[in-house]
Structure 1
Amino acid sequence: MAYELYYWDGIQGRGEFVRLALEEAGASYIDVTRESGSDRGTGAMMKIMEDSASADIPFAPPFLKDGDLIVSHVANILFYLGAKLDLAPKHDTARYVLNGLQLTITDFVAEVHDTHHPIATSLYYEDQKEEAKARSAEFIKERIPKFLGYFERVIANNPKGTAHISGDKLTYVDLSLFQVLEGLRYAFPKAMKGSEKQYPLLQALHDMVEQRPNIAAYLKSDRRLAFNINGIFRHYPELDQAA
């Protein structure tokens, strides 16, 4: 049975972290809102989220259906899929460490979002441009180096070598870090210029993921939507500046 992934159509967004894991594993999945039919499309996603009779309704996408089970939140979904897709260690201790890394990525992605929506998600970007400029300047100066520096150190301290963030096999966190770097380079090209020299281990990890056969094929396919200014990683030239 195919997994069912529910996320907003037209953007990569947070759903992309789950897609990368499914694509790398060659898993059978349905991107529900991108398909047509009576039980497909955005309407099908909203129907699940608005089901007042259900005790396991998700608050927001992305969420994943595996049979009757619904799993919500990116880190939680990847924690669930990790062992099933051979993208996480089998030992509980190592799995919890990996989950902690993914949760740190979740924090980072939330801060990325807040660069263009620092006041409220209910307001348009145009309603908070000045605040977004101030937030982005601080993000570029303080938060990008803090987070990327942390992940660079984690890779450097991996006792199994520096090819992966944890252990000696590819994990879903490697895939997520690839997506973070891709997104940051789209959103803040000036700020990220020269980052490959500042964070060489992260750059090597990014390149390794990009060259994996299933990921390379996915990136060339029409399933990989382009970054755009409706997603989490948005490029507004006025928010970008050299680090």
Structure 2
Amino acid sequence: MTYQLYYWDGLQGRGEFVRLALEEARADYVEVARGDEQDGLGTAAMIGVMDSRTEPYPPFAPPFLRDGDLIVSQTANILFYLGPKLNLAPQVESLRYVGNGLQLTIADVVTEAHDTHHPLASGMYYEEQKEAAKIRATDFIDHRIPKFMRYFERVLKQNPAGDGHMVGDTLTYVDLSMFQLIDGLHYAFPRAMKHFGQHYPRLAALHDAVLKRPNIAAYLASGRRLSYNETGIFRHYPELDKDAR
């Protein structure tokens, strides 16, 4: 059965973490919001699910995934559900919870990256909070990126299975999500990330290894991969970027 992925059209956003898993597994899926309204798709169809008065557990916001009659919301929860189905979860059941914990930590970084350009309120334009954004971005670059990345680098180093994976001894959705996090930070803060590979060689190697995977490489070169832009989570505002300490 075809999976239905619901996320805003024109944005990588949090939906991209789910897309990467679906693309790596070559799963059959459709992007509902990017579809034609004549086919019952489009943004209105996505909003209709969220505003539904008949769905027993309507999702609060995208991304969410429909698999038959089941709707799964929240990025980490979607990947926790999809991982075993797509052969992108650890084979050892206990490690699946470890992977979920790592995914939730990645989600924490994503939220903080978003808040560098919207530190006061999501409903305000960036231009209305630029001064606060400079303060938040400086702290993010000087303190938060190093704190998170030192942790993730240590996880790679201390993984008993080794092999350059975040959890277990095979590729999982956590590796794909780490790729997307690092890639997004490179776009948003190229000056701050300039020496990333020197400071975090294992993370840099993981990023490059995912980049070279055939299914991921084909996806990144296709029209299905949306470009980074200044309406998504990872935004490049030169005035917020600076050299890392």
TM norm structure 2: 0.98
Does the Cα contact within 8 Å between 1:162 and 1:201 map onto a contact in 2? no
- The one-letter amino acid paired with 1:7 is Y
Distance 1:108 1:146 in 2: 10
Aligned residues: percent identity? 64
Query: 2:140 maps to which residue?
Result: 139
Distance 2:202 2:24 in 1: 21
Does the Cα contact within 8 Å between 2:35 and 2:41 map onto a contact in 1? yes
Equivalent residue pairs, number:
243
Give 1:66 shift.
Answer: 0.2
Does the Cα contact within 8 Å between 1:164 and 1:170 map onto a contact in 2? yes
Does the Cα contact within 8 Å between 2:90 and 2:167 map onto a contact in 1? no
Q: Could you give the per-residue CA deviations for residues 91-129 of structure 1, whole angstroms, max 9, x where no partner exists? A: 321100000000000111000010000011010001100
Matched, 1:14 2:11: no
Distance 2:55 2:36 in 1: 24
Query: 1:183 maps to which residue?
Result: 184
Give 1:163 shift.
Answer: 1.5
| Structure 2 SS opposite 1:214 | helix
Give 1:162 shift.
Answer: 4.0
**Is there any run of 5+ residues in structure 1 with no aligned partner, and where?**
none
Distance 1:90 1:49 in 2: 34
Does the Cα contact within 8 Å between 1:137 and 1:239 map onto a contact in 2? yes
Give 1:191 shift.
Answer: 0.4
Give 1:89 shift.
Answer: 1.7
Query: 2:35 maps to which residue?
Result: 35
Matched, 1:96 2:74: no
TM norm structure 1: 0.99
Residue range with higher mean Cα deviation, 28-37 or 73-82: 28-37
Distance 2:176 2:112 in 1: 19
- The one-letter amino acid paired with 1:187 is A
**Is there any run of 5+ residues in structure 2 with no aligned partner, and where?**
none
Matched, 1:196 2:185: no
Give 1:53 shift.
Answer: 2.8
Distance 2:215 2:123 in 1: 37
Give 1:37 shift.
Answer: 3.0
Q: Could you give the per-residue CA deviations for residues 135-168 of structure 1, whole angstroms, max 9, x where no partner exists? A: 0000000000011111000000011114211111
Q: How does 1:158-169 map to 2 (within 5 A)?
A: 158-169=159-170
Distance 1:232 1:213 in 2: 26
Matched, 1:207 2:223: no
| Structure 1 SS opposite 2:95 | helix
| Structure 2 SS opposite 1:71 | strand
Matched, 1:124 2:113: no
